[in-house]
RNA sequence: GCCCCCAUCGUCUAGUCUGGCCUAGGACACGGGCCUUUCAAGCCCGCGACAUGGGUUCAAAUCCCAUUGGGGGCACCA
């Protein structure tokens, strides 16, 4: 861990949807840097566009962040010394700074109508030119512009981009990037409704909030020079800029689309954090997984707890190239973290999944003995009720054919089932443990000259209703003698019926 | 179309800055084996990559150039 100055970093989502993988990774890196340096992690809501605002999205964003364990130090719900932390509450601040830019000649009023602009763009494209503002209002004398503004004429404020020269900006991962100013546009800073756009609002906020590292997606790379221009126009010291690569779809071909996201959701996958929780993923696993998409510690360490990440994360080891999302790796990490959980903790976390799966009365106490049996057998928490739900059902419904042992017929299986029932019935009810049930059952296997799997398989299907289950004798101990015998009897009846039918 | 970014196994990556230790390491997935009452877990083995072409150099995955490929952006969205 390198000792550096405390970092002030911010995660600044706009409330237009759910937290997804890309946002979560950005937030995670923000959080790690803040915690590692003893700095602050700030949550700022970028909600200046009222048209795109989705009610409830802000709360949902916060919920996902908290689920991941990324608690912020300053934010809209908890305040802080640099608030407010919602851009919709900072309108006057942006107007003041926009005015400052106009006064210093770095910005100007533009009275062009959206219709004219659209027409202009159309013509430019027809001519094969890249769309850009043509500068019509750039040279309106300040006094005249002011008069028109005061007369109530609709207007926006644009950045007065230099027509010549170049600007060199510095990204931590990519080094210096030099672009020609003429390829940049006179971007709009303040809309005609008086609201600042991202380009102005985020820069003002980042400066005012003392942000030391701006970590954001690489979709901001094209406007990065504009942002640097704004900082320099104000005469402010720039933060360290870090542009993270985007996530590609698993095939590596292109960015995730809305359509892709829907398809994933059908296949027990999702790019949305709130879905991942529902699908049975651990926040530990999700963090571990996304941390490693674009960052690495060394050539072999892959398992990281949050504490590990806080200690070992470093901006220097970030990678600038895009990364394809690999869901099977998430499954792998989830399995790893499930196995790393103390049994008591796993039991606690499993409770809601049993409730959701239709076992509303299951408690931690019920789950405690079962956890050791399934801990290595599930990769997501929602699999637990599927594999161990039979423990909580009054009755099980085996598929009759599955009761027939391998290489035996129905009649022979009935016989084996009857003998197994006898053996189990002979074990005392209050000592129905693996130590007492397994040896006599093994003796039976020898006596019958069969394979263990043949005999145990019948009992397994009879008692659990499944071909695949946790280890048999531990399972029987939890199910108890009474239910075991009851289910054996039922299985024997089913087998008898089958035997009669095939005669 | 214009601008910007990126480039090692199918995928995530180590190695690139500071050329030689790289007949390129790890992980996921995949194939096989061991263990085994089912299924997992665990262990072992295998498969598999420096995009291409030019340079520079005694030596290039590593440096330079070009090409190709991929990604992103070009809104009174963020």
Q: What is the spatial distance, in angstroms and rounded to an integer, between the CA atom of A299 and the C1' atom of B20?
A: 21
Write out the two tokens for A103. Answer: 């006064």
Q: Which of A437, A427, A407, A408 is nearest to A495 (CA)?
A: A408
For residue A438, is it within any domain?
A: yes
Q: Which of A395, A445, A450, A390 is nearest to A420 (CA)?
A: A445
* Pair A128, A230 in one domain: yes
Q: What is the spatial distance, in angstroms and rounded to an integer, between the CA atom of A174 and the C1' atom of B66?
A: 21
For A145, A363, A382, A446, the CA distances from A457, given in Å and listed in that order, are 87, 29, 25, 15
CB A142 under 7 Å to nucleic chain B: no
pLDDT value for A3 = 52
* Pair A226, A96 in one domain: yes
* Pair A373, A481 in one domain: no
pLDDT value for A1 = 42
Q: Which nucleotide is nearest to A174 (CA to C1')?
A: B5
Q: Which of A298, A207, A244, A261 is nearest to A19 (CA)?
A: A261
For residue A316, is it within any domain?
A: no
pLDDT, tens digit, 9 for 90 and up, residues A163-195: 999 999 999 999 999 999 999 999 999 999 999
- In angstroms, rounded to a whole number, what is the distance separating the alpha carbons of residues A53 and A51? 6
* Pair A370, A458 in one domain: no
- In angstroms, rounded to a whole number, what is the distance separating the alpha carbons of residues A280 and A278? 5
Residue with smallest Cα–C1' gap to B12: A293
Chain A residues 281-310 with Cβ under 7 Å of strand B are 292-294, 296, 298-300, 302
CB A116 under 7 Å to nucleic chain B: no
For residue A65, is it within any domain?
A: no
Please identify every residue of A annotated as catalytic.
258
Each residue's pLDDT, cut to its tens digit, for chain A (503 residues) gives 445 799 999 999 999 999 999 999 999 999 999 999 999 999 999 999 988 999 999 999 999 999 999 999 999 999 999 989 999 999 999 999 999 999 999 999 999 999 999 999 999 988 888 899 999 999 999 999 999 999 999 999 999 999 999 999 999 999 999 999 999 999 999 999 999 999 999 999 999 999 999 999 999 999 999 999 999 999 999 999 999 999 999 888 888 888 888 889 888 999 999 999 999 999 999 999 999 999 999 999 999 999 999 999 999 999 999 999 999 999 999 999 999 999 999 999 999 999 999 999 999 999 999 999 999 999 999 999 999 999 999 989 999 999 999 899 999 999 999 999 999 999 999 999 999 999 999 999 999 999 999 999 999 999 999 999 999 999 999 999 999 999 999 999 999 999 888 76
Q: Which nucleotide is nearest to A193 (CA to C1')?
A: B76
For residue A145, is it within any domain?
A: yes
For A97, A105, A132, A223, A230, the CA distances from A235, given in Å and listed in that order, are 12, 13, 26, 19, 9
* Pair A133, A160 in one domain: yes
Q: What is the spatial distance, in angstroms and rounded to an integer, between the CA atom of A214 and the C1' atom of B3?
A: 22
Q: Which helix (H) or strand (E) holds A264?
A: helix A258-266
- In angstroms, rounded to a whole number, what is the distance separating the alpha carbons of residues A445 and A453? 9
* Pair A387, A416 in one domain: no
Write out the two tokens for A25. Answer: 């990774």
Q: What is the CATH number of the domain that holds A133?
A: 3.40.50.620
* Pair A150, A218 in one domain: yes
- Cα-flanking dihedrals φ and ψ of residue A212, to 5°? -95, -30
* Pair A119, A228 in one domain: yes
For residue A433, is it within any domain?
A: yes
CB A450 under 7 Å to nucleic chain B: no
For residue A338, is it within any domain?
A: no
For residue A212, is it within any domain?
A: yes
For residue A324, is it within any domain?
A: no
The answer to whether residues A368 and A343 touch, using CB atoms and an 8 Å cutoff, is yes
CB A439 under 7 Å to nucleic chain B: no
* Pair A386, A495 in one domain: no
CB A345 under 7 Å to nucleic chain B: no
The answer to whether residues A36 and A310 touch, using CB atoms and an 8 Å cutoff, is yes
* Pair A463, A358 in one domain: no
Q: Is A129 helix (H, G, I), strand (E, B) or coil?
A: coil
Return the biggest CA–CA distance within chain A.
Answer: 107
Number of domains in chain A: 3
The answer to whether residues A250 and A223 touch, using CB atoms and an 8 Å cutoff, is no
* Pair A197, A98 in one domain: yes
CB A328 under 7 Å to nucleic chain B: yes
pTM of the complete model beyond 0.90: yes
Strand B: list positions under 7 Å from protein Cβ: 1-8, 10-15, 25-29, 36-42, 70-78
pLDDT, tens digit, 9 for 90 and up, residues A310-364: 999 999 999 999 999 999 999 999 999 999 999 999 999 999 999 999 999 999 9
Give the end of a domain, one of A244, A263, A288: A244
Give the end of a domain, one of A186, A217, A244: A244
What are the residue ranges of helices labelled H in A273-409? 273-278, 283-291, 306-312, 327-340, 343-356, 364-367, 371-374, 384-388
Give residue A495's domain range.
400-502
Q: What is the CATH number of the domain that holds A409?
A: 1.10.10.350
Give the end of a domain, one of A229, A244, A259: A244
* Pair A366, A232 in one domain: no
> What count of other Cβ atoms lies within 10 Å of the Cβ of residue A96?
10
- In angstroms, rounded to a whole number, what is the distance separating the alpha carbons of residues A371 and A285? 19
The answer to whether residues A71 and A34 touch, using CB atoms and an 8 Å cutoff, is no
């Amino acid at each position: 861990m390198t000792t550096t100055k405390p970092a002030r970093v911010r995660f600044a989502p706009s409330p237009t949807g759910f937290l997804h993988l890309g946002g979560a990774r950005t937030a995670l890196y923000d959080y790690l840097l803040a915690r590692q340096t003893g700095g602050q992690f700030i949550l700022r809501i970028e909600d200046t566009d009222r048209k795109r605002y989705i009610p409830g999205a802000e709360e949902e964003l916060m919920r996902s962040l908290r689920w991941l364990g990324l608690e912020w130090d300053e934010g809209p719900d908890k305040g802080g010394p640099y608030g407010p932390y919602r851009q919709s509450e900072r309108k006057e601040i942006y107007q003041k700074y926009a005015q400052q830019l106009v006064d210093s000649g770095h910005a100007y009023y533009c009275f062009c109508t959206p219709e004219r602009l659209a027409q202009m763009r159309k013509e430019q494209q027809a001519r094969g030119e890249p769309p850009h503002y043509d500068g019509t209002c750039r040279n309106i004398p300040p006094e005249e512009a002011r008069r028109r503004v005061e007369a109530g004429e609709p207007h926006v404020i644009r950045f007065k981009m230099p027509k010549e020269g170049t600007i060199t900006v510095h990204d931590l991962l990519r080094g210096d990037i030099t672009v020609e100013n003429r390829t940049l546009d006179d971007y709009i800073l303040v809309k005609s409704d008086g609201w600042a756009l991202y380009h102005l609002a985020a820069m003002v906020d980042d400066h005012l909030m003392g942000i030391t590292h701006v970590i954001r997606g690489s979709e901001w790379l094209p406007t990065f020079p504009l942002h640097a221009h704004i900082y320099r126009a104000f005469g402010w010291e720039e933060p360290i800029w870090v542009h993270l690569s985007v996530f590609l779809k698993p095939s590596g071909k292109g960015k995730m689309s809305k359509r892709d996201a829907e398809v994933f959701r059908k296949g027990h996958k999702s790019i949305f954090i709130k879905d991942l929780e529902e699908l049975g993923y651990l926040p530990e696993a999700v963090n571990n997984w996304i941390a490693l998409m674009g960052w690495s510690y060394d050539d072999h360490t892959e398992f990281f707890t949050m504490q590990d990440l806080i200690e070992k994360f470093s901006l220097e080891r970030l990678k600038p190239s895009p990364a394809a999302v690999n869901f099977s790796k998430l499954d792998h990490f989830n399995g790893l973290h499930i196995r790393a959980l103390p049994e008591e903790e796993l039991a606690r976390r499993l409770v809601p999944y049993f409730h959701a799966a239709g076992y509303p009365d299951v408690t931690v106490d019920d789950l405690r003995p079962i956890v050791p049996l399934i801990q290595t057998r599930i990769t997501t928490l929602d699999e637990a009720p599927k594999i161990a739900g039979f423990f909580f059902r009054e009755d099980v419904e085996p598929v009759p054919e599955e009761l027939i042992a391998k290489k035996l017929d129905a009649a022979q299986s009935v016989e084996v089932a009857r003998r197994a029932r006898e053996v189990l019935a002979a074990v005392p009810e209050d000592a129905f443990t693996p130590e007492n049930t397994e040896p006599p059952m093994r003796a039976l296997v020898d006596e019958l000259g069969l394979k263990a799997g043949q005999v145990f398989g019948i009992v397994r299907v009879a008692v659990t209703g499944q071909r695949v289950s946790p280890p048999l004798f531990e399972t029987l101990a939890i199910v108890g003698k009474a239910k075991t015998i009851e289910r054996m009897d039922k299985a024997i009846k089913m087998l008898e019926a089958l035997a009669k039918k095939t005669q």
